[in-house]
Structure 1
Amino acid sequence: MRSADTDTDHTSKIVGTAWGLLILNTLGSAGAKTIVPLPRSLIQMATMGALVAAFALALAVNLRLRIRASAFLFLLTLLLVPSVISSVDLESGFGALFRCARLTLFVGTLWLLSRWWDGGPTFVRHHIRMYLAVLASVAAGAIVSPGAAMPDLYGGRLVGALWPLTPPQIGQYAAVIIGLTVLLLLGRQTDRTSAAVVIVPSLVLLALTHTRTATLGLLVGLALAIGSLVMTSAAARRFFTWAVLCATVAAVGFGSLLQAWFLRGQSQENFSSLTGRAKVWQALLAAPRTTSEYLFGAGLGDKSFGGLPIDNSWLAVYQEQGMTGVVLVAAIIIVLGGVALLRPPSLSRACAIFLISYCALASYTEAGLGDASPYLLHLAVAASLLAAPAPAAPPSAPEGPRRRVPRWAQRSEVI
């Protein structure tokens, strides 16, 4: 007979695999040209197959449909209402209904996996491991074909040469796992060697993408997260002090280089218009709308307007799910942020604050909060960190007094 620990490990692996498949589903099918041309239809089949497989695995380990209700999942489920109402008109074509079905399956999988949301770092580790694998494929592509990985079409910025990933995607993944790994290291949940394996190459990839949103999100998110630990963690205070010192030295000694990296060779006019995004936003807001479109949007689409990407979560939600969707997405951010602020200082709270603040900042120049996307997965991890610990099962036999293990003898888990 298998022991309870063996069953738990087996279940944990299945849950981790399901989470990895959700991440694979959100990688997308549009991006740079790859070394080996991959038909978009093939990529879409792979990503949708990953979502179906994730749902099947989550259902297989949760046949009794035990879930942990949360305001995040409730609001996310309500977001399906304006999505369906606006998509059934087929104004955005049959693709809108397909995207609704995808979002429904995505939310359903999160509900099934919520059984294991216990306030611990389990899903943080799943998140880091899967995105580290994605970044490993990016690094491999850059080694195999540097020209394809940094094409002139993207201004020499790093892209996915094995899987079609854009610079903002790579920057986002790198920034998120860097921030989470730094926090795990400060909380003594991983060792320095394991942390360095994640942080150092991810920083290199982030620098090569020249992604300003991801860089600012990383810095602001870490500042807020570490700030929440400063009063209770000596390690957080030391890290914060050294970070401020290093930032000051970098600003004084390498200010011109940092400015050149930040501007990416753009003119002042192009930079002030956010690389042309502002023109698309103005056109979207000025477009005439019916009452139904104002309330429920025009249906789930490809996050574009007039053939150009919207690149703003709030305007993308307004376009596709109307003001109803905007209110629900805002409620998700506010509820998660409010719960995080009310929690006592802890590593889980700090990680949640980092993810919430990163998503909130990135929402200004990136779309994704209203549909199945990495941003919703980041917020789902935050929700799992803010969940109350599950009640422990009573022991089957009385146990003797436990000997307290000294702090120095406790071993941290590798990522």
Structure 2
Amino acid sequence: MTGTQPGVEARPAGTPKAVGIVWALLALNTLGSAGAKTVVTLPRSLIQMATMGALVAAFTLALALNLRLRVRPSAFVFLLTLLLVPSVISSANLEVGYGALFRCARFALFVGTLWLLSRWWNGDLTFVRYHIRMYFAVLVTVAAGLVVAPGTAMPEYYGGRLVGALWPLTPPQIGQYAAVIIGLTVLLLLGRAADRASAVVIIVPSVVLLALTHTRTATLGLLIGLVLAISSLVLTSSAARRFFAWTVLIATVAAVAFSSALQSWYLRGQTQENLSNLTGRAKVWDALLAEPRTTGEKVFGVGLSDKSFGGLPIDNSWLAVYHEQGLIGITIVATLIAVLGGVALLRPPSVPRACAIFLISYCAISSYTEAGLGDASPYLLHLGLAASLLALPTAAATPLATTAVPRRRVPRWARR
């Protein structure tokens, strides 16, 4: 009790540094094992061992940090736990092979780790900084690969788009990581939770890498997400108002002066027909919806797969969930997004709330052309970060002033 002021309860210990390691391990697990060709060929089995080992290590370390299994009530993690039910039921049929059960175990470990980490979700920016550091480290490896082997990093089979030359990362993955940390860093800067020098070091190279990936979904998600997030701060932050006004002005001038260059970047050399069917995605979607299904497959899905149909990627979170977890899975995921969005709207304006709005809107936009809302993925990790930002501070997280009880005066004759 030394150093504690009278009438004020002591602050609990802060978030252990090892929690940041757990979060980084979760992010490492979601990097995936399939992607571009690398400078040094890495066997896929070795990459899978590394990513799965990272998840096991994350769960083990989180359990060691939270041996008493203290967790916070979280609608987000509860809904993810419910999503495990149709995943296991459909995967048990082995329609897509034994890999479905392996993916269920991976998903269960992922959700279990989030439950263990929920103890430290207090609505502050601690996990935002973990998120930025981890994905910026990933982008550093991408930039290093570009310097070491530019031909491998921007191959012709990807149309000259930036890929991971040291770790097999695809252009959409790199674009996603860059867009997310750009958006979060901008919001921290507006909220004066980050200094300008650090923000510039993160934002400038991330913007360059995002441009080199030519990823339209990540760019649109970044722009729309930032507009929504900054709009939530406009009424309470003069810095947000100035940034919003200057951004609109600069964007208008750029759209007029560089319209042809922007259009060329957006089209990526594709024809209008190819662009209209979303680079072939629409054909896969039509085939998936036209596939005959039993009642059980419609309700529970066919089991967790590699997010492909007919050998081609599905590239749509909602159709992937419908294919793998059925109508029950779609209902749970839609409820999850709606709950996070509703809670974000009810919270008072703040930087954590703005970051949560950015992440939720980004994931909702990306879900149209990217899969990942029904299984362990970076998108669920982004939404987990949003859930941590929307958590209310626990009563023990802040000093509580106690009402001083007046001491009763004892008469002199009673002291004898």
Q: TM-score, normalised by structure 1?
A: 0.93
Q: 1:284 aligns with which of 283, 288, 310?
A: 288
Q: State the distance in 1 between where 2:398 and 2:261 align.
A: 60
Q: Which ranges in structure 1 are unaligned for 5 or more consecutive residues?
A: 399-415
- Partner AA of 1:248 in structure 2: T
Q: Aligned-pair distance for 1:393?
A: 6.1
Q: State the distance in 2 between where 1:200 and 1:382 align.
A: 24
Match of 1:403 in 2: none
Q: State the distance in 2 between where 1:225 and 1:161 align.
A: 33
Residue 120 (structure 1) aligned with residue 107 (structure 2): no
> Cα deviation per residue 1:273-304 (whole Å; 9 max; x = unaligned)?
00000000000000000000000000000000
Q: Aligned-pair distance for 1:395?
A: 6.7
1:2-401 alignment runs, 5 A limit: 8=13, 12-392=16-396
Secondary structure, in 3 states, of the residue corresponding to 1:32?
A: coil
> Cα deviation per residue 1:191-217 (whole Å; 9 max; x = unaligned)?
000000110000000000000000000
> Cα deviation per residue 1:152-181 (whole Å; 9 max; x = unaligned)?
010000000000000000000000000000
> Cα deviation per residue 1:57-100 (whole Å; 9 max; x = unaligned)?
10011000000011111111000000000000000100000000
CA, structure 1 residues 86+393, in 2 after alignment: closer, same or farther (shift >3 Å)? closer
Q: State the distance in 2 between where 1:261 and 1:328 align.
A: 37
Q: Aligned-pair distance for 1:396?
A: 11
Q: State the distance in 2 between where 1:343 and 1:330 align.
A: 20
Q: Aligned-pair distance for 1:13?
A: 1.4
- Partner AA of 2:30 in structure 1: T
Structure 1 runs (4+) greater than 2 angstroms displaced: 392-398
Q: State the distance in 2 between where 1:93 and 1:278 align.
A: 26
Q: State the distance in 2 between where 1:13 and 1:343 align.
A: 28
Q: State the distance in 1 between where 2:231 and 2:114 align.
A: 30
Secondary structure, in 3 states, of the residue corresponding to 1:188?
A: coil
Q: State the distance in 1 between where 2:42 and 2:143 align.
A: 18
CA, structure 1 residues 171+396, in 2 after alignment: closer, same or farther (shift >3 Å)? closer
- Indicate the percent of aligned positions where both proteins have the same amino acid: 78
- Partner AA of 1:333 in structure 2: I
Q: Aligned-pair distance for 1:268?
A: 0.4
Secondary structure, in 3 states, of the residue corresponding to 2:16?
A: helix
Q: State the distance in 2 between where 1:268 and 1:395 align.
A: 60
Larger-Rg structure: 2
Secondary structure, in 3 states, of the residue corresponding to 1:48?
A: helix
- Partner AA of 2:334 in structure 1: A
Match of 1:405 in 2: none
Q: Which ranges in structure 2 are unaligned for 5 or more consecutive residues?
A: 5-9, 403-416
> Cα deviation per residue 1:295-328 (whole Å; 9 max; x = unaligned)?
0000000000000000000000000000000000
> Cα deviation per residue 1:15-53 (whole Å; 9 max; x = unaligned)?
000000000000000000000000000000000000000
Query: Which deviates more, 338-347 or 211-220?
Result: 338-347
Q: State the distance in 1 between where 2:296 and 2:400 align.
A: 58
Q: State the distance in 2 between where 1:141 and 1:69 align.
A: 42
Q: Aligned-pair distance for 1:391?
A: 1.3
> Cα deviation per residue 1:368-394 (whole Å; 9 max; x = unaligned)?
000000000000000000000011368
CA, structure 1 residues 160+8, in 2 after alignment: closer, same or farther (shift >3 Å)? farther
- Partner AA of 1:13 in structure 2: K
Q: State the distance in 2 between where 1:382 and 1:101 align.
A: 24
Match of 2:412 in 1: none
- Partner AA of 1:280 in structure 2: V
Q: State the distance in 2 between where 1:137 and 1:377 align.
A: 20
Aligned residues: 396
Secondary structure, in 3 states, of the residue corresponding to 2:395?
A: coil
Secondary structure, in 3 states, of the residue corresponding to 1:79?
A: helix
CA, structure 1 residues 305+395, in 2 after alignment: closer, same or farther (shift >3 Å)? closer
Secondary structure, in 3 states, of the residue corresponding to 2:123?
A: coil
CA, structure 1 residues 277+394, in 2 after alignment: closer, same or farther (shift >3 Å)? closer
Q: State the distance in 2 between where 1:392 and 1:264 align.
A: 53
Q: State the distance in 2 between where 1:299 and 1:311 align.
A: 17
Q: Aligned-pair RMSD on alpha carbons?
A: 1.9
CA, structure 1 residues 397+345, in 2 after alignment: closer, same or farther (shift >3 Å)? closer
Q: State the distance in 2 between where 1:393 and 1:296 align.
A: 41
Q: TM-score, normalised by structure 2?
A: 0.93
- Partner AA of 2:99 in structure 1: G
